[in-house]
Structure 1
Amino acid sequence: MEYKEDEYLMLSGIQHFRFCRRQWALIHIEQQWAENVHTVVGELMHQKAHDPYLTEKRKDVLITRALPISSKMLGISGECDVVEFHKNDDGVKLHGHRGLFQIYPVEYKKGKPKVSEEDILQLTAQVMCLEEMFCTEISEGALFYGQIRRRESVKISKELRDQVVDMVKEMHQYYDRKYTPHVKYSKRCNSCSLKDICIPRIGKATSAEKYISQALEDM
């Protein structure tokens, strides 16, 4: 199955969906958004990485920023923060450049590596888009974290690819139904910029009376 361009979902939504399906639906279906310190810091990092007019060449490496990508098979589109094209005899041909190049995407993130896989799955989706666009295979990419100031290499396994396929399929189903899942409160809700819109503790409470009592205790 191939999706039409007007059916594409935002690739960046994969990270939201993996973190919290309700957060993803509030942002991508209901068009709700709110800033907090985490989103502002992340946006500033991406502004530095996303300069579509800047292309660098360092020896045998061509570096592009804000590269538009998409996949008809997954029905997603977005941008890569940084894509490095390394000169290699096993690579692909690039228009306007001599030789062959291997493709290496680098996604920029604030903070430090997470225990959960949302960043890894977003990078995997980028790899799958690039593979489809350039008719090639990409075995590895990297995540650059602002707090530790270094890259973390990621091997793109079949298991990661399968997770992306399943997640994107579920995202399309929710989007087509305009369905916002119910909230499941957890400690990570406290760091979500949509906490005051989502009001996660209401979903956890068994009654209005219990919710009000808990809210008063937290004051």
Structure 2
Amino acid sequence: MISGIQHFAFCQRQWALIHIENQWRENVLTTEGNHVHQRVDDSGFDETRGVFRIVRSVPLVSESLRIRGIADMVEFERQSEKCEETVMLDGREGNWKVTPVEYKRGKPKSDDRDIVQLCAQAICLEEMLGVKIACGAIYYAETRRREQVMFSDSLRLRVKTLVAGMRLLYDENRTPRAEYQKHCERCSLISICKPKWSAKGYSKSAAAYVKRFVEGGEDQSDDC
């Protein structure tokens, strides 16, 4: 799933828990994110405003990357001239520039988890429509601003690398071991992931853990 690229870029273990083990748990951040997406989740929305055509909840697929998903919104802007960045739309006159727009609850991140998801959407649209997409946009609800994202060659390569990593873990049906970091405290899956257990060596083997517990060498106070 395209939405999984964001999870994988943030934490490979988080991605595996969700997309391989089918585990999920809400927290205040995920709930707020759901509310933001509900505002644009309308598969029947198709509106023209001047030179813009706005379509929401657009199904996406890429045969080359073997990914699929939904774009929050795709904007088509009428252009005066035809070029590699424009397409013709059924039942519409003129040439149209294509821009994917993703909605997020917070503000711009210090990492690339949001922009790789948007770039993956652009790659899908390029394949589906036979067009070149140079940039897209992410709307952040906290700042109420759009941030433009340029789809550079290095960003496209980053997306392909992430998808290859996702495919490898998925084919191997493997969940990476946890590594506790500061961002773990904001993750809705922390009670399932238990990253501090790995930091203490609990995940080396179940047998080793049981042996230490029986021998009375474990202090479980931090994990209760």
Same fold (TM over 0.5): yes
Distance 1:59 1:169 in 2: 41
Pairing partner for 1:147 from 121, 142, 151:
142
Residue aligning to 1:6: none
Residue aligning to 2:133: 138
Pairing partner for 1:167 from 155, 162, 181:
162
Residue aligning to 2:205: none
Q: CA deviation at 1:154?
A: 0.7
Residue aligning to 1:83: 74
Instruction: Name the % identity.
Output: 45
Residue aligning to 2:32: 41
Residue aligning to 1:201: 196
Q: TM-score, normalised by structure 1?
A: 0.91
Pairing partner for 1:122 from 117, 120, 124:
117
Contact 1:62-1:85 at 8 Å conserved across structures = yes
Q: CA deviation at 1:215?
A: 4.0
* Cα-to-partner distance string for 1:101-136 (whole Å, 9 max, x where unaligned): 010111000111000100010001001111111111
Q: CA deviation at 1:206?
A: 3.3
Q: Which runs of 5+ in 2 are unaligned?
A: 203-208, 210-216
Residue aligning to 2:61: 70
Is 1:93 the counterpart of 2:88? The answer is yes
Residue aligning to 1:212: 220
Return the letter of the residue paired with 1:76: I
Distance 2:94 2:223 in 1: 64
Residue aligning to 1:14: 5
* Cα-to-partner distance string for 1:35-64 (whole Å, 9 max, x where unaligned): 001111101111111111111111010000
Return the letter of the residue paired with 2:2: L
Q: CA deviation at 1:212?
A: 2.5
Q: Which runs of 5+ in 1 are unaligned?
A: 1-9
Paired residues, number? 207
Distance 1:98 1:61, change over 3 A: same
Distance 2:131 2:47 in 1: 23
Q: TM-score, normalised by structure 2?
A: 0.89
* Cα-to-partner distance string for 1:168-194 (whole Å, 9 max, x where unaligned): 011111101101001111010011111
Work out which of the two has the higher radius of gyration on C-alpha atoms and give 1 or 2. Answer: 2
Distance 1:211 1:92, change over 3 A: farther
* Greater than 3 Å deviation, 4+ residue runs: 206-211, 213-216
Residue aligning to 2:174: 179
Aligned positions of 1:21-60 closer than 5 A: 21-60=12-51
Residue aligning to 2:99: 104
SS at match of 2:138: strand
Contact 1:69-1:77 at 8 Å conserved across structures = yes
